[in-house]
Amino acid sequence: MNQKYKFFIKTNAVTFRQSAEKQENNLQLTNYWIDRLLNLELSEDSVVELNDLTSFIQLLRSKLLFIKAGGGYVLNGHGQLLMIFRRGFWDLPKGKLDLGESIEQCALREVEEECGIAGLSITSPPFSTFHLYKEDGRLVVKESVWFKMHTTDDRSLTPQTEEDIEEARWVEQPIPMPIINGAYLSIREVLDHFA
């Protein structure tokens, strides 16, 4: 499988893939997309093939602040999915990686803190999404590393209100369209990946 990086900017996404064939003007293409990403300019979904994807990502890392977060696609014993409502959107529990913590520890901790549950276990390999945004005037790329999880905890959910979480809810599957349509584009990608 070819490696790819899909970056979400507001309501659109750009996917960068390693090109199977050598392309001319690859430097121009690289510079063009670096400039678009630095200016958060993306008016439609795009797929871009590059001669050297690894070098492109290294160049991007040198220009932007990359942070890592861990989160969960959590199912209970009834096959329901744990979702949260935060800042006007449906989301999945996640949060930033703490110093000295593995990404698995981070994902488990964040789900526990944001929803007040325990009895979690990871049941899948990781899946990453990348989200570009501005924070305190600085351009940030957040890599969210997602794990499918299972919980044996049947207590009531407790949303972490200090993280602006208004609601934590078990959602029946298939997930209703109003919830899917009310989720961030990157969250829809996670839902599709683990469904």
| Residues 10 and 37 placed together within one structural domain of the fold | yes
| Residues 130 and 187 placed together within one structural domain of the fold | yes
| Residue type for position 8 | F
Instruction: Provide the residue range defining the domain that includes 187.
Output: 65-194
| Residues 155 and 144 placed together within one structural domain of the fold | yes
| Residues 54 and 69 placed together within one structural domain of the fold | no
Query: What is the chain's pLDDT, residue by residue, as a tens digit (195 residues)?
Result: 458 999 999 899 999 999 888 777 678 888 899 999 999 989 999 999 998 999 999 999 999 999 999 999 999 999 999 999 999 999 999 999 999 999 999 999 999 999 999 999 999 999 999 999 999 988 999 999 999 999 999 999 999 999 999 999 999 999 999 999 999 999 999 999 999
Contact partners, residue 121, CB within 8 Å, separation at least 6: 149, 150, 151
pTM value? 0.93
Sign of the dihedral defined by the CA atoms of residues 58, 59, 61, 62, in that order = positive
Give the separation between CA 62 and CA 134, rounded to whole angstroms.
16
Last residue of a domain, one of 28, 63, 98: 63
Last residue of a domain, one of 40, 63, 86: 63
Number of folded domains in the chain? 2
| Residues 70 and 9 placed together within one structural domain of the fold | no
Give the separation between CA 158 and CA 161, rounded to whole angstroms.
9
User: Where does 77-194 have alpha helices with state H?
Assistant: 103-115, 177-181, 185-194
| Residues 110 and 180 placed together within one structural domain of the fold | yes
